Amino acid sequence: MKRNEVLKAVVILQAVCMIALTGMVMVKVWPLPGLRGNEQGEQTSPPAPTGTEGSGQKPVASVGGQPITGAELTSELYKQYGDEVLRVMMLRRALELESKATGLRISQEELDREIAAAAEGYGDEESFYSMMKEQLGLSKEQIQEEYRYRLLLEHITIKDITVADHEVDRYMQDHPEQFEPQLQFHLRWIVTNTREQAESVLAKLMDGESFAAMARLYSNDQFTAEDGGDLGMIDADDPFYDDEVLVAAAGMAVAEIAGPIELTEQGYAIIELAGRKSTSNLASDRLFEQARRQLALERAKPLNVVEDELLKRYDAMVMK
């Protein structure tokens, strides 16, 4: 399962939580793309959610003395996320029905393996859950449920696809980058606006100042400054970080500090290599089954097509 696919689904899950937190009760639902519209087949706009009379008029924020009411917040959430949230809710229901009909289940062991694989880029599972909580506001249980849902959908998608052992062998030979050990760096950084600022901070570090303390004082990266500049575990070829940073890290010893490094967008960085590791922890049989699953998914229908088929199979419809 690709991380960006999971995170996209997690963002939608977050929207569900945001709408629920408004305390509004939805009494109508609206058409989704590909599902029922009005009698003329037209797509209609989502109705304003309603709840206890007067409760939606209570201000939840204000700007320049102008209030933003709960009703306005809820309406905006529905405009932005309503169709996707409703589709997710319907798909969850259809998936549970299909799971009961086919007997397919996701074991706790399989879920734990998937979470562990996702957490590799964050150092450990605790850091992974902490980052998801900080960035998306989701609990450990919500993250696990999203992974369970995606795994179940994948199993349903490939349940009738057979992949022979020799095909898996060939697939692994043809895609070595997916199954060979991958180098990761545990990095900390301090980001400044100018080279002069970076050199000043570097001088303090060379005099023995704590890297974490300097990051909290001087780094302008709001996502890592409070954590002492900790970026967690980063793939050696991570496309989201400047090549200059990754190249520098590759040539550093653990606990070594380097910089200033000019960044494409953020100014200048000083980095510290806190550790390095190789992600060659999977046993050969697990790698083999991972390859079998990936090959089956490549041969299967796209997941969004399977989702549409599930909705149709269980007579999913949107009420007016």
Tens-place pLDDT, residues 214-228: 999 999 988 888 888
- Record the pTM: 0.55
Beta strands of the chain (E only): which ranges?
A: 59-63, 66-69, 183-192, 230-235, 257-262, 268-278
Query: What's the rounded mean pLDDT across residues 46-59?
Result: 56
The band of 184, judged by pLDDT with boundaries at 50, 70 and 90, is: confident
Distance CA 234, CA 231 (A): 7
Contact 269, 201 (CB under 8 A): no
Structure tokens at 90: 């319907």
Distance CA 192, CA 218 (A): 7
Distances (CA, A) of 233 to 182, 279, 297: 12, 11, 28
Distance CA 82, CA 15 (A): 9
Query: What's the rounded mean pLDDT across residues 116-131?
Result: 74
Is the per-residue pLDDT at 304 higher than 80?
Answer: yes
**20-34, 166-180, 190-204: which range is least confident on average?**
20-34
Side-chain-side CA neighbours of residue 3 (13 Å): 11
**Stated length of the chain:** 320
The band of 310, judged by pLDDT with boundaries at 50, 70 and 90, is: very high
Is the per-residue pLDDT at 80 higher than 90?
Answer: no
Strand 183-192 relative to strand 230-235, pairing:
antiparallel
